[in-house]
Amino acid sequence: MSDDAKGGLDSVGDGPVSSDSTEADPTPSSGDPSQHASVAALIERFGDAVLRHALNAGDQWVVWVDHRKSHEALAWLKNDAAHAFDMMSDVTAVDYGQGRPVEVVYQMYSTTHGRALRVRCPLPHDALEIDSVYDLWKSVNWLEREVYDLFGVTFRGHPDLRRILMPADYAEGHPLRKDFPLRGRFSRAEQTRRALNQDVDRFYVTDEIEHAEPQQVGAAEVGTLPASSKASGESV
């Protein structure tokens, strides 16, 4: 069967997508930037640092900005009264695979002007670093940590950059990267061994362990449940 004929999950068996290719993103700019005051102003102020722009789904404006100018451009969008993007509602990332850059994505909103804008900053695979914007929006604290954890992007200047979803000693890499194997980098046996050898002190404060109420329910207790609870499958 050719690659073109594959459908559904047939390609899962092929494993992770290689990142060795140097395929570029061919998507051109689209939309008239004059329709969005902040897009037009970004292009005028930052020139070639604005790589391209696009209008998606009729009203979602997206601007690609050189990561070396990301902090300067985002600070200007926040602090300039004509734009006043005071709300950073999300920071995430996208890995397209095939050697294409990993993009850090900022979703912003101006409560003053009722205006939304998405800024995307491409990062090369061999230099996944970008300036943190924690100094501008405190809401990005955990969001940047999540991108660091799942994509491996380092945010320079972040006050507490460490994993937030995976364990601190997680050794299999970054799960949302395209080169991450479907079942992880370790065998099932090794993953099970590591899980069974986990130290609970990594996840709980000592006082919580000492004073916590037991959560296990034995067979004797289950046998004394009211009939109505058993019939409904009510948990205890």
With respect to residue 53, please indicate whether it lies within any of the assigned structural domains.
Answer: yes
With respect to residue 199, please indicate whether it lies within any of the assigned structural domains.
Answer: no
Kindly list the distances between the CA atom of residue 151 and the CA atoms of 42, 91, 123, 127, 154, in Å, as whole numbers in the listed order. 27, 12, 11, 12, 9
**Nearest alpha carbon to residue 93 among 139, 28, 150, 141:** 150
- The CATH number of the domain holding residue 69 is 3.30.460.80
Which is higher by pLDDT, 202 or 125?
125
Answer yes or no: is pLDDT of 221 > 50.
no
With respect to residue 75, please indicate whether it lies within any of the assigned structural domains.
Answer: yes
187 band by pLDDT with thresholds 50, 70 and 90: confident
With respect to residue 157, please indicate whether it lies within any of the assigned structural domains.
Answer: yes
Answer yes or no: is pLDDT of 234 > 50.
no
With respect to residue 234, please indicate whether it lies within any of the assigned structural domains.
Answer: no
What pLDDT is stored for residue 230 in this prediction?
Answer: 44
Q: Which amino acid is at 181?
A: P
With respect to residue 48, please indicate whether it lies within any of the assigned structural domains.
Answer: yes
> What value does the mean pLDDT of the chain take?
82
Per-residue pLDDT of 27-68, as tens digits, reads 677 789 899 999 999 999 999 999 999 999 888 999 999 999
Which is higher by pLDDT, 91 or 20?
91
First to last CA, the chain: 51
What is the radius of gyration, based on Cα positions, of the chain? Answer: 24
What pTM does this model have?
A: 0.74
Question: Total domain count for the chain?
Answer: 1
What pLDDT is stored for residue 207 in this prediction?
Answer: 64
188 band by pLDDT with thresholds 50, 70 and 90: confident
d(C-alpha 132, C-alpha 20), whole Å? 28
What pLDDT is stored for residue 218 in this prediction?
Answer: 53
Q: For residue 106, what are the β-bridge partners?
A: 91, 119
With respect to residue 128, please indicate whether it lies within any of the assigned structural domains.
Answer: yes
Q: Which domain holds residue 156?
A: 19-164
Q: Which residues contact 210 (CB under 8 A, 6 or more apart)?
A: none
With respect to residue 132, please indicate whether it lies within any of the assigned structural domains.
Answer: yes
